[in-house]
Amino acid sequence: MLDQLIQLDHQLFQAINQGLSNSFFDVLMPILRNRYTWVPLYLFLAFVWVKQYRKTGLWMVLFLVLCFGISDYTSSSIIKPAVARIRPCNELNAIVTARVDCGTGYSFPSSHAANHFALALFFIVLFYTKWKPVLPLALLWAAAIGFAQIYVGVHFPIDILAGSLLGALVGYLLGILFLRFKPEDTWNSGK
């Protein structure tokens, strides 16, 4: 059963990494998955939250940093060393089109997916009741980053799925914790 799952994972990887290969994605996907691409968005959100929600905005930023830190530490420092799955671009028998530097770390789970799904779920939990488009936008954003990781050749699809689930759990739990600490009707009333 595990062998069949790994075989399916490799087939999906090939279908994305090579089967969807095109010049537009070759430019776009490395940008989407670059950690520095999204720094302006994070700084903008921090600025807006502090400006609009004041002290509560500072708490939002703190919880956002916690989301990132917990998901990143759990995926990178706990799970990856325990599983020790080699990245597709470092696997000797894998046929990979590497579009970015492969790196030396392990593959399972994807920390990029974990971190961005943690942030996405945190955004959704905090803002869904007031702004419904946050749900599809946040999920599409995080999923696009995960997809880009496969396309550029640094993660298998199961790595992305596991990272996404881990991150979603972290983001959801911290979002719920934040709302217990700072109930939404005290800061997001629309007044």
Mean residue pLDDT of the chain comes to 91
User: Which residue type does 35 have?
Assistant: R
Q: Give the Cα separation of 26 and 156 in Å (integer).
A: 18
How many C-beta atoms lie closer than 10 Å to residue 133's C-beta?
9
SS3 label, residue 154:
coil
pLDDT digits (tens, 9 = 90+) for 87-133: 998 876 667 888 888 877 899 999 999 999 999 999 999 999 989 99
Average pLDDT rounded to a whole number, residues 171-176: 97
Alpha carbon distance 63, 86 (integer Å): 32
On whether the CB atoms of residues 49 and 57 are closer than 8 A, the answer is yes
Q: Where are the domains of the chain?
A: 45-186
Question: At 156, is the secondary structure helix, strand, or coil?
Answer: coil
Domain 45-186 indexed as CATH 1.20.144.10: yes
What number of H helices and E strands is found in the chain?
Answer: 8, 0
Residue 85 CA, chain-centre distance (Å), reads 19
Q: What is the average pLDDT across 77-92?
A: 90
| Prediction pTM value | 0.91
Torsion of CA 121, 36, 137, 184, to 10 degrees: 40
Largest CA distance in the chain: 60
